[in-house]
Amino acid sequence: MKQRRRERERARQQGREQERQGAQGARNTQNAQGAQDVQDVQNVPDAPGDEKDVAGVPGEEEVAGAWEALVATARRMVSDGLVVGTSGNVSVRVGDVVLVTPSGVPYDRLTPDDVTGVDLEGRQVLGTLVPTSELPMHLAVHRTTDARAVVHTHAVHATAVSTLVAELPPVHYMAGALGGPVRVAPYATYGTEELARNMLRALEGRTGCLLQNHGTVTCGATLDQAYDRTAQLEWMCRLWLTASSVPGLTPALLTPEQLAQAEERLRTYGQPGR
């Protein structure tokens, strides 16, 4: 815990140093205003709310809150049956830090002291537990999209579908909530950059995809949104498997136009302003 505090303090100091240098540059051209900036930066208080303003370094309370939400999401994956044991993983971005589930630790044993975080290049900046082996997939999403949260599971129906088709047939309009028909990323060994590349291609224009013979990946603005998309994806896969397993009958599929219309309506679905 002390070690982590020191690390965070060091990161904050670095952030302040960068801002101070920036402010000094401004002073050279704008004299009085620049001097005021330096004054302000030197007086940065330690109150939690103020820390996040410093060069992408999140404050301690912000990190603690995001970690709590991440652990709750990871536990929910297990209790909802989307993964078994320590399979699957979750990440959430706070400033320029990506909090991730650690590798091989049962989610019900994670405590507030186990905060695990990396920067966008994958260098560990918080904690001592080894980050998830699927770090390349999580970082690929955080680096290239504006998503703030990523959920990866081995949900059984979705994984079954990933072994059968290259794209989940559009049996339901909820595919629109994921940006269109859900693609299956070609197989690659877990934890590799190759898998991360395949996944990114499958995710283009989508907020979810399947990984062949492996599982699901969804992303969103929040952990709840990313998780809900996983649940919807698993449900749609179960629906298609159920409908397509009736002997002698083939499920009707939605046309691209029908799907596009649903997607349009889904954009404004829900309570305005909530």
Is residue 93 classed as helix, strand or coil in its secondary structure? strand
Please report, for residues 47, 97, 126, 156, 217, the alpha-carbon distance to residue 61 in angstroms, rounded to integers and kept in the order given.
10, 14, 14, 36, 28
**Dist. CA 271–CA 218, nearest whole Å:** 23
Catalytic-residue membership of 134: yes
Which one from 134, 204, 234, 264 is the annotated catalytic residue? 134
Closest C-alpha among 155, 141, 158, 162 to residue 221: 141
CB-CB contact of 217 with 196 (8 Å): no
Q: How many other CB atoms are there within 10 angstroms of residue 92's CB atom?
A: 25
The set of catalytic residues is: 134
